[in-house]
Structure 1
Amino acid sequence: MNYKEMADGILMHMGGIENISFMTNCATRLRLNLKDDSKADLDGVKTVKGVVGAVKKGGVYQIIIGTDVPHVLAEIRKRGPIGEEKAGSGKKENILNRAMSMISGIFAPIIPALIAGGMLKALLTLLTFFGLVSGDSQTYYIINFISDAAFYFLPVLVAVSTASKLKCNLYVAAVIGAALIHPNFATLVSTGEPVRFIGLPVTLISYGSSVIPSILAIWLMSYVEPFADRISPKPIKFLSKPLITILIVAPVTFVVLGPLGYTIGTGLASGADFLNQHVSWLVPTLMGAFMPLLVMTGMHWSFVPPIVQSYATYGYEAIMGPGSFVSNICQGAAALAVAFKTKNRELRQVSISAGITALLGVTEPAMFGVTLKLKKPLYAVIIGGAAGGLYAGINGVVRYTSGTPGLASFAVFIGENPMNIVHAFISVGIGFAVTFALTLFLGFEDEVEIKTKHEETRALKQKIEVGSPAKGRAVKLADVKDETLSSGVLGKGAAVAPVNGKVVSPVNGKVFSVFPSLHAISVVDENGAELLVHIGVDTVKLDGKYFKAHVKDGDIVKKGDTLVEFDKKAVEGEGYDTTITVLVTNTQEFLDVVPAGQGELESGQTLFTIV
């Protein structure tokens, strides 16, 4: 995946780097706020290679990329600083959209920290369950408080993230958030004696793991800080501005906003617990059914505050965890059912990859690349999700800590109730079975014949002879001592054991990419074959040592032109195999890749033929 091209394509359709006022990412999506919405072209951004889909919800542009999204985000940041204007200055959003934009903007950067803490806690549960770590050991004690850190210091994390969203000073905001959980205030809370600040009563509340008090505090700060800036004399503004801000915001938070936020938070948690106690089947059923729609619209972010508050109050949550676990597995089931039923090779390949990813907890590739596009499989996901969610709700399944809902993080359902994890697995089993069967039964429009004939016609009209990249002995792909290369997962091809370190182009074409470590080069043949020339096994670890590139990205090359030279003796002296592998990475677009056979080859002599 070419991150530079993706970044350029996204920026072109979003009005350029200067039109972005705020940018972050979650596990699979790039999230943008724009200054001028009229410059955005969602249909255009969907055409960028590597982009799975794009939507605008809650005032936020969500560009679905997949797990490579951090690399794309980093590439965009290289293009220049993000603007300072408020988001959506081109068109005023309604209150609901602004609220959704605010919630997603605050929590998206924090989620990785919460997931890390939750997964560490889940890992600790597994270690103790299998007797690898004793619950009385110091190792357990240390891992336990590390896993709790993200949740305990959540007021600080939320304060910083809110300040970033509202363009406030991050470090002053951190101080305000930290004040809420300061040990001295915690001592006052535990003592229980009445506390007053300049005669005003201070409600004694434990703010550890709270969310809403910090949001309200920094919301106030977003007004106080500009005021402090205006009234501060220029010579002492550096000192007076943060002083005035903290002197106003911190006391008001302790006296008014903190108790208000705590009341709202506990009210949300109590409401969720009421539903869980009296109609336990309802929320997981609805979540299991409609989670895809919530994710598509970005509405799932609105549930983060009550979920976090539920963890803090009860030690578990049943709002989203059980239903989303079932829904994610159903997305995987639908994608795998499509792969089983379709005769379209490209769709099968996409569906298998997306299905496995969804089972592990990341559903965007399956949802936007398969089920939503084909429609009927999405109906199967909704029905299967409702069935599994209903079972989870009836049996009181809860999630004990944060984690991406999927098989990779099943341990988040292990807790004080030993049957909780059992019922969680049964619920996803029901969802998987119902969804898989319904997808096969309902079917979907599969344009197999037209596409296959087109591909076969294209393949039969061309015959591409790929030359050996070096002088040496031909090696079967299966004999290459690199499982990733030899398995054929990256494409079919062949290899050569070179007698020297001169590597030449195997075809006429264009250099698509020279890897930074110089151990691999991607070349696109003039007929469209995409070739990967991979030098050695694990030589990426040398980071370019002993290698010298003779070409760069975009160069036009002829068959036999030198691509790279490397010191074969030195590389082998470091303990690395120097076998050179050539793969056709778009093998699926051709009928077959036929190796020329074994024996000695001259540089440029046919290594294999693409038909």
Structure 2
Amino acid sequence: MNYQKVAKDVLKHVGGKENIKHVTHCATRLRFTLYEQSKVDNESIKQMKEVIDAVDKGGQYQVVIGNEVEDVYKNLMKEGNLEDNHNNDREDEVDNRNIFIKLLDVIASIFTPIIPVLAGSGMIKALIAIIDTFKLTNSDTAVHRILTILGDAGFYFLPVILAVSAAKKFNVNQYIAIVIGGVLLHPAFIQIVKEGKSSGEGVSFLGMPVGLVDYASTVIPIILAIWFMSFVEKQLNKFIPKAIKIVLVPMFTILIVAIVTLIVLGPIGNYLGIGLSYVFATLNVHVGWLVPTLVGLFMPLLVMTGMHYALISLGINELASKNFDPIAGPGMFVSNLAQAGAAFAIVFRTKNKELKTLASSTSFTAIFGITEPVLYGVNLRYKRPLVAAMIGGGVGGLYYGITGVGRFAQIPPGILSIPGYIGPDGFGVLIHAIIGIIIAFVVAFLISLTLGINEETLDVEEQHNASDNNQIADKDTFTGAHVNAPITGEVIPLNEVNDPTFAAELLGKGVAIKPTEGKVYAPADGTITALLDSHHAIGITSDEGVEILIHVGLDTVELNGQFYFPQVENGQEIKQGQLLLEFDSKQINDAGYETTTPVIITNTAEFDDVETIVNQTMTHGEKIINIS
């Protein structure tokens, strides 16, 4: 790699040295804080063969180089005559972070582990929709009813499923979190809600009103609940004596969190939805064309908050009173097709085979009106497709508003709902309905195709093969190797890591470990080839030629070495099991960072197979990766 040329090209494409407010680097990335993001030539950077990826993350522009980032960084400093601020304070960067983007990141990271549930359940629901359309079986048969249960379960129990991943995100007891999710779906509570609604008298707990909300398939209430639980559990652990913690901490956590959720946190989306319903009903009277535009534009966000249920009720009321719904159905229809179009474009932009499969399958289910898999699995996760979907839905909704499209029947808003737009006066509305969804799909597709995603990259294997520093010692004599766990803790798949570059395996295959102690040990015999000033990442080349990156925490380069205590130095030969680094997990977590530690084989492309052992707790020294 020509470090000087790479540095010169990167400097040019980020807008020159005048556009750089702050630049630093971690184990694999150049991290820029820029004055004007619009000056970045993102496509040119991504097309550089030395660049693995480029990521715009919460106000910070990151260029993923890989193991040779430090050499590129030094040349960048020299080429641009920049002040070396590798150890500068991170205050400027923090000020640039967008709270809304942070919120989307939290939601997306909570959904990442459950994407298989959404995708699998969504495909089953799409299968049922096809069966119903072609009347392959009656809805009252056991086959149909069981298939319906199989398709619905993953969505109905979302509060419980999300409780687990939210508990991991907020670092609280997963089993108590499951109980909180179970409270929201308990049959007795559902009955209380039904009785309260039918009587009109409501329900109270110790004089406080309980929200009469159906929490099945909801998202935000359980995330808010587990977020609140992280504060409650922490405070209880501080004040309750150790001898009785095992009983009283769970007891009071369940009591406090469940009650606050039922009275305050859970109903928030419902109350906002009622207000939103009133606003849309009023707009429909005075500026009717605007309503499907707004619904098409904001529907993905309404789904995330659960506020869309109020619109569904409004649409049903319109059908009951006027036999025509111009409010909910049309906007949802174009939004669903726009989401499908945005995700489908990713099939043509990504080189990642798993993402191609996910994007194609979830866009297929979205066409049939099942959007949770595509929303949480692709569009929200990568953000740019979400923007494309919202714009496409808004444009399609505007066309519906101008042409006066509405539905004449209550059918879930997917491609199979088209007959619901055939009115008593003929096919005029139907034709405009079809044109509208085509517009929504195509606009979203083209915008998403143009914007791409942060994970888009050149073929990773070609990138690694192009590097003259990533060759194992002797391919002909290499008979295999293994890597041991450098840290004691829970070993998880890389795709569960809250960082798209690691999760997409752009730097190589491997695992991640959630540490239970703050010590890092040598995973193999070898040599320390990289130990940054920030001490959060260690590069090792084993005696067999395996290049290992141990990245302790996510974005922890920003701590500038605080809470990290290295026990070795660059160039030092090490033995398997030797102590390399100590770190203070509590201090790192209190500073707002995750300690999840990716362990990556950065020269993955040089081997036939890298096999990982995950989803179990390991002690340092136990085998986690086999290489052949």
* TM band (smaller chain): 0.3 to 0.5
Q: TM-score normalized by structure 2?
A: 0.42
Q: Which has the larger radius of gyration?
A: 1
